[in-house]
Protein backbone atom coordinates (compact mmCIF):
# COMPACT_ATOMS: atom_id res chain seq x y z
CA UNK A 1 0.00 0.00 0.00
CA UNK A 2 2.80 2.37 1.00
CA UNK A 3 4.41 1.92 -2.42
CA UNK A 4 1.48 3.67 -4.05
CA UNK A 5 1.52 6.59 -1.66
CA UNK A 6 4.57 8.44 -3.06
CA UNK A 7 3.38 8.52 -6.70
CA UNK A 8 -0.06 9.59 -5.50
CA UNK A 9 1.39 12.44 -3.42
CA UNK A 10 3.70 13.50 -6.26
CA UNK A 11 0.78 13.40 -8.67
CA UNK A 12 -1.22 15.64 -6.39
CA UNK A 13 1.67 18.12 -6.02
CA UNK A 14 2.08 18.33 -9.81
CA UNK A 15 -1.67 18.88 -10.17
CA UNK A 16 -1.57 21.60 -7.50
CA UNK A 17 1.35 23.38 -9.19
CA UNK A 18 -0.46 23.26 -12.54
CA UNK A 19 -3.63 24.70 -11.02
CA UNK A 20 -1.75 27.43 -9.13
CA UNK A 21 0.36 28.50 -12.14
CA UNK A 22 -2.77 28.55 -14.35
CA UNK A 23 -4.68 30.76 -11.93
CA UNK A 24 -1.67 33.11 -11.77
CA UNK A 25 -2.20 33.91 -15.48
CA UNK A 26 -5.89 34.61 -15.12
CA UNK A 27 -6.92 38.25 -14.89
CA UNK A 28 -8.74 38.88 -11.60
CA UNK A 29 -11.79 41.19 -11.77
CA UNK A 30 -11.39 44.70 -10.37
CA UNK A 31 -12.53 44.89 -6.75
CA UNK A 32 -12.19 47.75 -4.22
CA UNK A 33 -9.73 45.52 -2.36
CA UNK A 34 -7.54 45.05 -5.43
CA UNK A 35 -7.62 48.80 -6.22
CA UNK A 36 -6.58 49.49 -2.59
CA UNK A 37 -3.70 47.04 -2.98
CA UNK A 38 -2.66 48.86 -6.17
CA UNK A 39 -2.81 52.20 -4.39
CA UNK A 40 -0.56 50.90 -1.63
CA UNK A 41 2.06 49.51 -4.08
CA UNK A 42 1.84 52.76 -6.09
CA UNK A 43 2.71 54.79 -2.98
CA UNK A 44 5.72 52.57 -2.32
CA UNK A 45 7.08 52.00 -5.83
CA UNK A 46 5.76 54.52 -8.33
CA UNK A 47 5.44 57.89 -6.55
CA UNK A 48 9.12 58.84 -6.92
CA UNK A 49 8.67 59.17 -10.67
CA UNK A 50 4.94 59.39 -11.39
CA UNK A 51 4.17 61.72 -8.44
CA UNK A 52 1.81 61.62 -5.44
CA UNK A 53 -0.98 63.14 -7.56
CA UNK A 54 0.03 60.86 -10.47
CA UNK A 55 0.67 63.83 -12.78
CA UNK A 56 4.05 62.48 -13.87
CA UNK A 57 5.81 64.95 -11.58
CA UNK A 58 7.48 62.82 -8.92
CA UNK A 59 10.67 63.97 -7.20
CA UNK A 60 12.87 62.24 -9.77
CA UNK A 61 10.86 63.44 -12.79
CA UNK A 62 12.99 66.53 -13.44
CA UNK A 63 15.95 64.23 -14.18
CA UNK A 64 14.09 62.10 -16.68
CA UNK A 65 13.50 62.18 -20.41
CA UNK A 66 11.09 60.92 -21.63
CA UNK A 67 9.03 62.17 -18.68
CA UNK A 68 7.05 59.72 -16.52
CA UNK A 69 3.45 59.25 -17.68
CA UNK A 70 0.70 61.49 -16.27
CA UNK A 71 -2.00 59.02 -15.20
CA UNK A 72 -4.66 61.72 -14.85
CA UNK A 73 -4.31 62.99 -18.44
CA UNK A 74 -3.92 59.27 -19.28
CA UNK A 75 -2.43 59.60 -22.76
CA UNK A 76 -0.79 56.22 -23.15
CA UNK A 77 1.72 55.04 -25.71
CA UNK A 78 1.68 51.26 -25.62
CA UNK A 79 -1.86 50.60 -26.74
CA UNK A 80 -3.53 47.99 -28.92
CA UNK A 81 -6.64 49.97 -29.88
CA UNK A 82 -7.45 52.25 -32.81
CA UNK A 83 -8.58 54.98 -30.43
CA UNK A 84 -5.26 54.84 -28.57
CA UNK A 85 -6.61 53.84 -25.17
CA UNK A 86 -4.84 51.01 -23.36
CA UNK A 87 -6.58 47.71 -22.64
CA UNK A 88 -6.11 46.27 -19.16
CA UNK A 89 -3.73 43.76 -20.72
CA UNK A 90 -1.72 46.59 -22.37
CA UNK A 91 -1.21 48.23 -18.95
CA UNK A 92 -0.40 44.90 -17.31
CA UNK A 93 2.18 44.11 -20.00
CA UNK A 94 3.82 47.54 -19.78
CA UNK A 95 4.04 47.34 -16.01
CA UNK A 96 5.49 43.84 -16.27
CA UNK A 97 7.99 44.61 -19.03
CA UNK A 98 8.88 48.24 -18.41
CA UNK A 99 9.68 50.60 -21.28
CA UNK A 100 13.24 50.00 -22.54
CA UNK A 101 14.95 53.25 -23.50
CA UNK A 102 13.26 55.12 -20.65
CA UNK A 103 13.54 55.09 -16.86
CA UNK A 104 10.38 52.99 -16.59
CA UNK A 105 11.59 49.70 -15.09
CA UNK A 106 10.06 46.23 -15.32
CA UNK A 107 7.91 45.26 -12.32
CA UNK A 108 7.77 41.60 -13.21
CA UNK A 109 9.07 40.70 -9.73
CA UNK A 110 5.84 41.99 -8.16
CA UNK A 111 3.15 39.36 -7.59
CA UNK A 112 0.64 39.03 -10.45
CA UNK A 113 -2.13 40.19 -8.09
CA UNK A 114 -0.13 43.32 -7.17
CA UNK A 115 0.40 44.17 -10.85
CA UNK A 116 -3.32 43.80 -11.59
CA UNK A 117 -3.99 46.00 -8.55
CA UNK A 118 -1.71 48.64 -10.11
CA UNK A 119 -3.55 48.37 -13.45
CA UNK A 120 -6.93 49.01 -11.83
CA UNK A 121 -5.61 51.76 -9.55
CA UNK A 122 -3.91 53.62 -12.41
CA UNK A 123 -7.04 53.30 -14.55
CA UNK A 124 -9.13 54.78 -11.73
CA UNK A 125 -7.00 57.97 -11.88
CA UNK A 126 -7.84 58.89 -15.49
CA UNK A 127 -9.88 62.12 -15.76
CA UNK A 128 -11.76 60.62 -18.72
CA UNK A 129 -12.70 56.99 -17.94
CA UNK A 130 -10.74 54.50 -20.05
CA UNK A 131 -13.29 52.57 -22.13
CA UNK A 132 -12.68 49.98 -24.81
CA UNK A 133 -15.20 50.49 -27.60
CA UNK A 134 -16.69 47.84 -29.83
CA UNK A 135 -14.41 46.91 -32.68
CA UNK A 136 -14.81 48.86 -35.91
CA UNK A 137 -12.37 48.44 -38.76
CA UNK A 138 -10.97 51.70 -40.17
CA UNK A 139 -11.78 53.05 -43.62
CA UNK A 140 -9.34 52.45 -46.48
CA UNK A 141 -7.51 55.68 -45.60
CA UNK A 142 -6.92 54.37 -42.07
CA UNK A 143 -9.39 56.73 -40.37
CA UNK A 144 -12.37 55.94 -38.17
CA UNK A 145 -11.13 52.71 -36.57
CA UNK A 146 -12.41 51.94 -33.07
CA UNK A 147 -11.75 49.34 -30.41
CA UNK A 148 -9.11 46.64 -30.44
CA UNK A 149 -6.78 46.41 -33.43
CA UNK A 150 -6.86 42.95 -34.90
CA UNK A 151 -3.41 41.85 -36.00
CA UNK A 152 -3.66 39.90 -39.28
CA UNK A 153 -2.71 36.23 -39.05
CA UNK A 154 0.75 35.46 -40.44
CA UNK A 155 0.50 34.06 -43.97
CA UNK A 156 1.81 30.52 -44.51
CA UNK A 157 5.37 30.38 -45.86
CA UNK A 158 4.56 28.55 -49.08
CA UNK A 159 6.35 28.59 -52.43
CA UNK A 160 4.62 31.80 -53.54
CA UNK A 161 5.53 33.58 -50.29
CA UNK A 162 9.11 32.39 -50.64
CA UNK A 163 9.30 33.76 -54.19
CA UNK A 164 7.91 37.12 -53.03
CA UNK A 165 10.39 37.22 -50.15
CA UNK A 166 13.36 36.47 -52.40
CA UNK A 167 12.33 39.24 -54.79
CA UNK A 168 11.93 41.74 -51.95
CA UNK A 169 15.20 40.61 -50.41
CA UNK A 170 17.13 41.20 -53.63
CA UNK A 171 15.59 44.61 -53.92
CA UNK A 172 15.82 45.91 -50.38
CA UNK A 173 18.26 43.84 -48.33
CA UNK A 174 20.93 42.23 -50.51
CA UNK A 175 22.92 45.42 -50.98
CA UNK A 176 24.02 45.09 -47.35
CA UNK A 177 23.29 41.53 -46.30
CA UNK A 178 24.63 39.99 -49.50
CA UNK A 179 22.99 37.93 -52.27
CA UNK A 180 23.16 34.76 -50.23
CA UNK A 181 22.55 36.40 -46.86
CA UNK A 182 26.10 36.05 -45.58
CA UNK A 183 26.38 39.71 -44.58
CA UNK A 184 28.80 40.44 -47.43
CA UNK A 185 26.83 42.96 -49.46
CA UNK A 186 28.50 45.58 -51.61
CA UNK A 187 27.56 48.74 -49.67
CA UNK A 188 30.58 50.25 -47.97
CA UNK A 189 29.05 51.20 -44.67
CA UNK A 190 27.71 47.66 -44.29
CA UNK A 191 31.16 46.34 -43.56
CA UNK A 192 31.76 48.72 -40.69
CA UNK A 193 30.94 47.44 -37.22
CA UNK A 194 28.29 46.55 -36.31
CA UNK A 195 28.52 44.21 -39.31
CA UNK A 196 25.38 43.28 -41.25
CA UNK A 197 24.09 40.03 -39.81
CA UNK A 198 24.41 36.96 -42.00
CA UNK A 199 20.98 35.47 -42.66
CA UNK A 200 22.28 32.06 -43.68
CA UNK A 201 21.46 30.58 -40.29
CA UNK A 202 25.15 30.17 -39.42
CA UNK A 203 26.69 31.85 -36.41
CA UNK A 204 29.71 34.15 -36.67
CA UNK A 205 31.88 31.32 -35.38
CA UNK A 206 31.09 29.27 -38.51
CA UNK A 207 32.11 32.04 -40.86
Name the residues that contact ligand HEC, by CB under 6 A.
41, 45-46, 48-50, 60, 64, 66, 68-69, 76-78, 86, 91, 94-95, 99, 102-104, 107, 118, 122, 172-173, 175-177, 187, 190, 194, 196-197
Q: Of the two residues 69 and 147, which places its CB atom closer to ligand HEC in the complex? A: 69
Q: Of the two residues 34 and 122, which places its CB atom closer to ligand HEC in the complex? A: 122
Q: Of the two residues 10 and 172, which places its CB atom closer to ligand HEC in the complex? A: 172
Q: Of the two residues 140 and 207, which places its CB atom closer to ligand HEC in the complex? A: 207
Nearest to 22 by CA among 91, 112, 99: 112
Q: Is 27 exposed, middle or buried (0-12, 13-18, 19+ CB in 10 A)?
A: exposed
Angle between helices 112-124 and 88-97 (to 10 degrees): 120
Least CB distance from residue 146 to ligand HEC, whole Å? 19
Tell me the C-alpha to C-alpha distance, in Å, between residue 6 and each of 10, 14, 17, 90.
6, 12, 16, 43
Amino acid sequence: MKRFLLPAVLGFVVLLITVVSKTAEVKPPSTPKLVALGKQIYAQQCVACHGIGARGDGEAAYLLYPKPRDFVAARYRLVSTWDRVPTDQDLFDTISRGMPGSAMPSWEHLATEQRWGLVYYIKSLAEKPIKIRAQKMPAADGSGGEGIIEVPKPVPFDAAARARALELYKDACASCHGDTGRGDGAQDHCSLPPYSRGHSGKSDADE
